[in-house]
Chain A
Amino acid sequence: MITQGNTPGRRISPMTPAATSCRVDGQSPHRVSIQRRGPPFPEAPLAPGTAFRIRPGQAPERKRARFATMSTRQAVVQLLLIIIPVLLLSLVTATDGEKR
């Protein structure tokens, strides 16, 4: 279980401030300490009450578990929502710059 600060057994809450980042202190897999300010754990969005094991020395931010990535389909849709209007508006204002 990842703990926050030096209090073994305390779970990291999903309410942990985004600027808080934890790192294993290298002495025990059950102890981590807050080392620096930074982004939230980018690869491990913690669901409420989530606990998981990490090896000593393995920073949680390196753990490749449960990415909150955008799906390919979502990405394509989002891109099309931009590209199609851009093309459409470019066509409509087709007397574009270089000519004027």
Chain B
Amino acid sequence: MYAAHFAAGLAIKARAPRAPTWALLTGAFLPDILWIGFARVGIEPTAIANFFDDWSHSLAMVISWGALFALAFWRQGRGVVLAVWVAACSHFLLDLPIHPKFLALYPHSAIHLGVVTSGAIGARRYWFAQLAVVAVSTPVYVRGLAASGLRRNLVAASCLIVLTLHLLMYPG
């Protein structure tokens, strides 16, 4: 998932306006950011044949990495810490239905969770599935932030950015 993680981060922002946007969005992408690093050094192979992302994307690790990252904001209050942690955990929930490989419960676990792999569903259907997440998250964000006083044109601009990002990712 790509734009859907941004949409989820923004939806959480609407619920926790005191939390910095960058922290929520970084939290929402934390497993992917770690995956990039792990894949670069070879801890998590990226080839389809032996794709492995348990250290960045397994349930236990997402919860742990998210907690570590969220704790960096403890000075901003419990609400902000919780919001950032939830943003990080949202990554697992969004990746759970569709992912290149079913998500592990913990690194090297024999138990894997998921509904369908992105390879099986196809790039186009995957894109539309993400669009559905964006479509659900965006109104939450719009309603929440509009109520909190953020100018409507800025809310609209951020929605437009997310939608544009998603459109740019259209397969083919």
CB pair A89 B161 closer than 8 Å:
yes
Render B31-59 as a binary contact track against A, CB cut-off 8 A, 1 for contact.
01100110111111111011010100000
Task: Say whether A75 contacts B110, CB under 8 Å.
Answer: no
Q: Contacting B76 at CB < 8 Å: which of A18, A19, A98?
A: A98
Interface residues of B in 5-43 (CB under 8 A from A): 6, 10, 13, 16-22, 25-26, 29, 32-33, 36-37, 39-43
B36 pairs with A75, CB closer than 8 A: yes
Given contacts A86-B29, A100-B148, contact A69 B20 (CB under 8 A): no
For A39, the closest partner residue in chain B by CB is B52
Which interface class (under 10, 10 to 19, 20 to 34, 35 or more) fits A? Answer: 35 or more
Q: In the complex, what distance in Å separates the CA atom of A19 from the CA atom of B54?
A: 12
- CB nearest to A67 among chain B residues: B42
Q: Which residue from chain A places its CB closest to the CB of B54 in the assembled complex?
A: A39
A25 at the interface (CB under 8 A from B): no
Residue B157 is within 8 A (CB to CB) of chain A in the complex: yes
Count B-side interface residues using an 8 Å CB cutoff: 48
Number of A-B contacts (CB under 8 A): 120
Complex CA gap A42/B108 in Å reads 12
B50-88 contact mask (Cβ, 8 Å, vs A): 1 or 0:
101010000000000000000000001000100000000
- Which chain B residues (98-120) contact chain A, with CB distance < 8 Å? 101, 108, 110
Q: Which of B119-172 contact A (CB under 8 A)?
A: 145, 148-151, 154-155, 157-158, 161-162, 165
A96 lies within 8 A of B20 (CB)? yes
Q: Give the distance in Å from the alpha carbon of A88 to the alpha carbon of B22 in the complex.
A: 9
Docked pose: A43 CA to B6 CA in angstroms: 32
- Bound together, the chains give a CA A81 to CA B25 distance in angstroms of 12
Q: Is A5 an interface residue (CB 8 A)?
A: no
Mark each residue of chain A from 86 to 100: 1 if its CB lies under 8 Å from any CB of chain B, else 0: 111110111111101
A99 to B13, CA, bound (A): 14
Of residues 32 through 83 on chain A, the ones whose CB sits less than 8 Å from some CB of chain B are: 37-43, 45-46, 67-72, 75, 78-79, 81-82
Give Cα A41 to B161, complex, Å: 40
Contact present for A98 and B47 (CB under 8 Å)? no
CB distance from B70 to the nearest CB of A (A): 14
User: A96 to B29, alpha carbons, bound, how many Å?
Assistant: 19
With A86-B22, A97-B19: A68-B45 Cβ-Cβ less than 8 Å: yes
Q: List 8 A-B contacts (CB under 8 A).
A: A45-B47, A70-B39, A85-B25, A89-B10, A92-B161, A93-B21, A97-B19, A97-B80
Residues of chain A touching chain B, judged by Cβ–Cβ distance below 8 Å, are 14, 18-19, 37-43, 45-46, 67-72, 75, 78-79, 81-82, 85-90, 92-98, 100
